[in-house]
A = this chain, B = another copy of it.
Amino acid sequence: MSIAVITEQAVTNADKTFLQLRSDIVEGEIPAGGKLSETELSTKYQVSRAVIREAINRLEACHLVERRANVGARVVSLTPDGLIQLYQVREALEGMAARLAAKNMSDEEIADLTALLDNHFQTVKDGNSYYQEAGDLDFHYRIILGSKNQHLIEVLINGIYHLIRMYRVQLGMAGPRVTTAFDEHKHVVQAIANRDEELAEILMRRHILYSKNNIERKLLQS
């Protein structure tokens, strides 16, 4: 009952290649700014160029690669400012998601979310921070899905979250802040449970804003 799995089952060959490539990019096997040669990838994955092109198109759709006509596709290059901009969008969208979740989540979903947080709290109190990132992700995913807003879900889960993970991996940043994040999560859930849309949004925005500030500090250090 813990992880809110997003099932992305690949039916076609291009699907598999897309998922593989996305993983390779997000996990840094293909470095940021790196070129995606169609011929090279087609030999590497043993598929035709058409399949590779299809996959690259979808990667472009989620803003992981950029294409220039007659030149080719490159993995997006990571800049500190790019990450900040990403968090600005995330703040706006997840704030709205929290607001809508407070309105649209069923009582059962809210109960589940509360249980998840209790569970998560126990895990961390025992000194385990292993599932930390997974737990954080699960929390945010549930609220996003709880918004019941298809556009929000699409943009955040299929777009921004992969990009953020890419930044996190390649900039070698640790997961989300451990200590304070729990309380922030708890307060957001409380606001949702109280059906307080306004407060839910404010708290979620602040939660993400803190993350952003934290990241900005780390970026300035290096």
Contacts and interface: CB of A to CB of B under 8 A. Distances in A.
Contacts of A15: 69
Interface residues of A, number: 31
Interface stretch (A30-38, A88-96, A115-123, A132-140): A88-96
A56 to B, nearest CB: 10
B85 A150 contact: yes
Contacts of A50: 50
Contacts of A58: 57, 61
A88 B61 contact: no
Most buried by B among A63, A86, A89: A89
A106 to B, nearest CB: 17
Contacts of A151: 63, 85-86, 88-89, 160
Nearest to A50: B50
A180 B54 CA distance: 46
Interface in A53-78: 53-54, 57-58, 60-61, 63, 69-70
A70 B70 CA distance: 29
A11 interface: yes
Interface string A101-113: 0000000000000
B152 A155 contact: no
A20 B197 CA distance: 41
Contacts of A85: 149-152
A199 interface: no
A179 to B, nearest CB: 28
Contacts of A95: 92
Interface string A125-154: 000000000000000000000000111101
A47 to B, nearest CB: 15
Interface string A145-174: 000011110110000100000000000000
